[in-house]
Amino acid sequence: MSEGSSFQAEDLIDRLLLIVTLNSTLLHFLLSSQVEDSVDPDRVDSLTQGLLRTRKWMEEATTMKGIPPSTQNIMTLIVKRLSQIESLLPKLSEKAKQAETNPAQEILSILDGERTARTEGAAPEAEPGEELVPLVGDEPARPLEAFKKVDVEDDQFGLIGQTQRLIQQYSKRCHVLLPTFWLEAIREIHRYRSESPYFGDVVELPARTMMATAKGLLTEAPGARLLQDLMKSRQQENYLSGSEMERIERAVAKYYQGLEKVLKEEKVNVQEKILEAQTAFDGFGWGGPELEKRIIKRLNKQCADSLESAESASDEPRQVVYAEMTKLLCKLQHAILAEPRMLEILAQMKP
């Protein structure tokens, strides 16, 4: 709405309904973060983008012609509060990103401390001529490594190649940045290795879903038509930015961390995992009213199907894989909503 627009009660109702929706989203975020005892930085960033757009929309309303002074004062106060929250969220996001990397650093610190303690508590070196008595005993069993990340992905199911060829095939007539996002997520999932018998499911189940997402965008309505129309107004974009790739890497790393016990063949609390997946699904990111919701709705359906599979799968390891897969898909959706370029595309796709 332009600055010269006249005040309309119906328009005000729309804005206030959006504020109510935003408030409930923020409340769910706060409560779920408390329950999970962690903060998802991608979700914080997607909330920041939504808050920014909402604040600007509300700000426009304060300059409409004919708006009653009392209403203008209240809306100005709302804008001020939104601005205050908006200034805090980036700091929260930064802390959350640090928290996701700190566990490894803490482990290294602990190990370093143990090494220091061992050095300080070690027996003194034997004097020349003294006999050294070797310690007798079996070597301690090496703990099973759940997974490790490697530099080159192994396309063991052919899903990377299939998705890449599909994108190349449609790139002349469809805008391919969104499908490429899912291709890179598939690649990242394949950049891990594990000797676990469950590793095949860990890689294949989410990768097949992501390939279906990319394929649906390019070949099925409404995505195919919308991406074709997008080519008329936007130059082709074939590569993700560093920030977009970083979000994928963090999401996939979190996915594997959640599956560590399964890959080590240790006991897992399945119901707790399903509850975590349900919480993630409840906080699924829909974005603002300016975004093309039909595209987002398809991913939401895939998340719902994955959650249902987590509840109904025949064996516990697969239940956990589906639960973590639900969380991964939801996290990747927040990653999309956190990136300005992706948001622009979803907004431009809306008729």
pLDDT of residue 102: 55
Pair of tokens at residue 287? 């974005």
Calpha distance 28→327 (Å, rounded): 16
Strand partners, 192: 149
pLDDT of residue 309: 97
Which parts of the chain register pLDDT below 70?
1-7, 100-144
Pair of tokens at residue 175? 């805008």
pLDDT of residue 131: 52
| 90-110: pLDDT as tens digits | 788 788 777 766 544 443 443
pLDDT of residue 25: 80
CA distances from 4 to 68, 73, 302 (A): 15, 18, 43
Q: Where are the alpha helices (DSSP H) in the chain?
A: 9-36, 41-61, 69-121, 159-170, 177-189, 199-219, 223-233, 242-258, 260-263, 270-282, 293-312, 316-338, 340-349
pLDDT of residue 12: 74
Pair of tokens at residue 91? 């700091």
CA distances from 5 to 10, 69, 170, 289 (A): 13, 16, 42, 20
Residue type, 236: Q
**Domain residue extents for the chain:** 9-100, 148-349
Residue type, 180: T
Cβ 345 vs Cβ 181: under 8 Å? no
Calpha distance 171→177 (Å, rounded): 10
pLDDT of residue 130: 52
Calpha distance 103→106 (Å, rounded): 5
3-class SS at 148? strand
Cβ 203 vs Cβ 157: under 8 Å? yes
22, burial (CB in 10 Å: exposed 0-12, middle 13-18, buried 19+) = buried
pLDDT of residue 76: 85
Q: What is the pTM of this model?
A: 0.74
3-class SS at 65? strand
